[in-house]
Amino acid sequence: MLIAANIIIVYLLNFDDQFNDVPNLNALPTAIERKKIMIEIKHVTKVYGGTHKAVDNISLTIPTGEIIGFIGPNGAGKTTTIKMITGVLNPDEGEILINGKNIVTQPLEAKKEFGIVPDNADIFLRLKGIEYLNFMADIYEVDSATRKQRIAQLAKTFEMENALNDKILSYSHGMRQKIVIMGVLISDPNVWILDEPMTGLDPQSSYSLKQMMKEHAAKGNTVFFSTHVLEVAEKLCDKVAIINAGSIIFFGTLEELQHNHPNCDSLESLFLEVISHA
Ligand SMILES: Nc1ncnc2c1ncn2[C@@H]1O[C@H](COP(=O)(O)OP(=O)(O)OP(=O)(O)O)[C@@H](O)[C@H]1O
């Protein structure tokens, strides 16, 4: 009896040791999942034209389960960074891993881990919306039952049901943005990377997208998006990364940012303060 009790105690102690930083055992799988690192940017530099350092030795570690806002003034290096994360451009120095896959040396494996909404939604203009969605579903091997269900759901969310049989060429800017977002979401990637995703969206679609971003992160996934709209970043993000002239000048929570600058009462004033001292 005593031996059995000892075995149970030793087991419980070891169990507790393994998870001693997890406060709630009911939340165990999510807590462990959230410790995973999804995007690792290590000492990355990009030089245009041999001389212009658009991105200068930046490092960011982005875990799962969080929404990260990427903010900075015009020309700071946001799009260049996003293009390197997604394999559109190769860094001149450093490396980028998406869920452990190197975007330069393992591009096919790395690209399966994320979906990208680029800043320019003018793509595949000669295709009909539905053809584009099926094309994206084919690339990511989404089976027909799943794609049918996702297309119906996304079309409803973004109020695009009546537009899917029209050519993308005939769409407004906002509708083009919506079809690109739908094309990304159809494969349900773990990591969402979005470059200025709210631009051109009407209030309802913008609201829906923000809700979807929150739900996606709450499920233990990662959302990384650039924006100039600081109110959006303020309300939506778990953390912000601020880039200025190619360098990361802050990465952390808004509380941490505010702690460093107690006189500022909004992300806008914090942002202006940080940029002015950079
Ligand atoms: N293809 C290119 N060739 C040369 N220079 C470039 C190229 N693309 C960007 N740049 C320069 O690199 C810098 C960073 O540009 P980038 O587009 O990454 O900034 P950004 O933060 O996304 O800006 P914005 O908020 O205005 O979209 C800028 O000085 C820009 O002029």
Verify whether ligand 1 is closer than 6 Å to residue 77 (CB atom).
yes
* Residues 116 and 82: beta-carbon distance below 8 Å: yes
Position of tokens 């939340």?
27
* Distance from the alpha carbon of residue 76 to the mean position of ligand 1, in angstroms: 7
Residue appearing with tokens 């001693």: 20
pLDDT score at 27 = 39
Mutate to test the pocket of ligand 1, among 51, 80, 89, 224 (most ligand atoms within 8 A of CB): 80
Q: Is the CB of 52 under 6 A from ligand 1?
A: yes
ipTM surpasses 0.90: yes
Q: Please work out whether the CB of residue 246 comes within 6 Å of at least one atom of ligand 1.
A: no
Is 29 near ligand 1, meaning CB less than 6 Å away? no
User: Residue 81 has what pLDDT?
Assistant: 97
What lies within 8 Å, CB to CB, of 31 at 6+ separation is: 22, 23, 24
Q: Where are the domains of the chain?
A: 119-189
> What is the model's pLDDT at position 5?
40
The pLDDT value recorded for residue 24 is 39
H/E segment holding residue 241: strand 239-244
Per-residue pLDDT of the chain (278 residues; tens, 9 = 90+): 444 444 333 333 333 333 333 333 333 444 444 447 799 999 999 999 999 999 999 999 999 999 999 999 999 999 999 999 999 999 999 999 999 999 999 999 999 899 999 888 888 899 999 999 999 999 999 999 999 999 999 999 999 999 999 999 999 988 999 999 999 999 999 999 999 998 888 898 889 889 989 989 998 999 999 998 888 998 999 999 999 999 999 999 989 988 888 888 888 888 888 888 77
Q: Is 49 in the pocket of ligand 1 (CB under 6 A)?
A: yes
Q: What is the pTM (predicted TM-score) of this model?
A: 0.82
Cα separation, 69 vs 223, in Å, equals 8
CA of 246, closest atom in ligand 1: 14
Evaluate the CA torsion angle 108, 110, 106, 248 in order and state its sign: positive
Is the CB of residue 87 less than 8 Å from the CB of residue 113? no
The pair of structure tokens assigned to 138 is: 């084919």
Residue 72 CB–ligand 1 contact under 6 Å: yes
Which residue's CA is the nearest one to ligand 1's atom 2? 48
Position 22 scores a pLDDT of 35
In angstroms, the CA 222 to CA 245 distance is 25
